[in-house]
Chains A and B, each alone.
Chain A
Amino acid sequence: MRFSVTVFPGSNCDHDCEWVIKDVMGQDVEMVWHKETDLRKPDCVVVPGGFSYGDYLRTGAIARFSPVMKSVDEFAKKGGLVIGICNGFQILCEAGLLPGALIRNKSLQFSCRNVYNLVERTDTPFTGACQKGQVLKLPIAHGEGSYFIDSEGMKKLKANNQVVVRYCDETGQVTPGSNPNGSLENIAGICNEKRNVFGLMPHPDRSGEDMIGSHDGQYIWKSIIKSFAGAAR
């Protein structure tokens, strides 16, 4: 399976994505500079974390107008798989590929630690290898990860089962205390209505091996690979 990782000025998790996809999961990976429009025929596009364009104006607001994002938009609209991690999630929201927005953490602090995430939906290409109710230990590293959507939007998200992962405690309880950033209803990751675009603040790219704290990120990559293999059959 071939992944393409977009690279913006200020991306800093592009190599984490490359490492987990290539060295841990054994898949092909292409790095695509933001000025390019050729995604190089990917089966899945990864919009990585970092601080694209220095987070100027709003996180993801400038990156969203990069030439490469026009291609990502077309790819997503044709049903291609797109995953946005951290700053990538912010970019996908700014681009309108995912609903809502990520705003300043409630604490005003940059939060960098492992958090627990409850997998609520397994009927997405990004979580199909997880068990419903599984708890994933994944790191977060962000200052603007508080998910916001208006009440109409929230109703739609719920009606379409688009809330994929929520922050929880170690035992899988979704509690106010386990919400690291003030996200509405502990939302950590959502998908679009068609379920081919997924964004999350925690990093499955920085949790590919126990040596670095957790291997739970592998479940997300395994899911994508599994869904691709299923589609190819």
Chain B
Amino acid sequence: MAWHVNVFVTLKPSVMDPQGATVQRALNSMGYKSVESVRMGKFTEMEIDGALSEAEVKKLTDEICDKLLANPNIESYRFTVEKK
């Protein structure tokens, strides 16, 4: 049984997201007029050694996000941890 970690990285609200804005305009022009905002982000799945404790996995994931998966200048992240 390994830890399954799902990481979501998104642009901070203050950072312009032209890709999200373009997708929103496309949705609106397709008829989905109620879509008021779209922000694009990145999704990463990781499998981590099941021998680690949940606290260790969370600490490790924080470190990985801070160092590589997210750029703190422009992005924030959150993640879920599940054993299966």
Which of B13-21, B30-38, B47-55, B76-84 participates in binding chain A? B13-21
A65 within 8 A of B: yes
A51–B68 CA distance with the chains assembled, in angstroms = 17
B interface residues, how many (CB within 8 angstroms): 14
The answer to whether A108 and B22 have CB atoms under 8 Å apart is: yes
B28 within 8 A of A: no
* Shortest Cβ distance from residue B42 to the other chain A in the assembled complex, whole angstroms: 8
The answer to whether B73 and A101 have CB atoms under 8 Å apart is: yes
**Cross-chain contact of A146 among B16, B68, B69 (Cβ < 8 A):** B16
Given the known inter-chain contacts A57-B68, A65-B68, please indicate yes or no for A105 contacting B18, CB distance below 8 A.
yes
The answer to whether B71 and A94 have CB atoms under 8 Å apart is: yes
**A100: which B residues are within 8 A, CB to CB?**
73
The answer to whether A107 and B18 have CB atoms under 8 Å apart is: yes
The answer to whether A103 and B74 have CB atoms under 8 Å apart is: yes
**Cross-chain contact of A150 among B17, B18, B22, B73 (Cβ < 8 A):** B73
Give chain B interface residues in 50-78, CB to chain A under 8 Å: 68-69, 71, 73-74
Give chain A interface residues in 77-111, CB to chain B under 8 Å: 93-94, 99-101, 103-108
Interface centre among A107, A146, A148 (most CB of B within 10 A): A148
A to B contact number (C-beta, < 8 Å): 40
* Shortest Cβ distance from residue B39 to the other chain A in the assembled complex, whole angstroms: 13
Interface centre among B11, B69, B71, B73 (most CB of A within 10 A): B73
The answer to whether B74 and A101 have CB atoms under 8 Å apart is: yes
**B74: which A residues are within 8 A, CB to CB?**
101, 103, 148
The answer to whether A101 and B71 have CB atoms under 8 Å apart is: yes
Interface centre among A101, A103, A149 (most CB of B within 10 A): A103
The answer to whether A182 and B18 have CB atoms under 8 Å apart is: yes
A2 within 8 A of B: no
**Cross-chain contact of A148 among B16, B42, B68, B69 (Cβ < 8 A):** B16
A151–B13 CA distance with the chains assembled, in angstroms = 13
10 pairs, A vs B, C-beta closer than 8 Å: A57-B68, A58-B71, A104-B18, A106-B16, A106-B18, A107-B18, A108-B19, A150-B73, A151-B14, A182-B16
Chain A residues close to B by CB (< 8 Å) = 57-58, 61, 65, 93-94, 99-101, 103-108, 146, 148-151, 153, 182
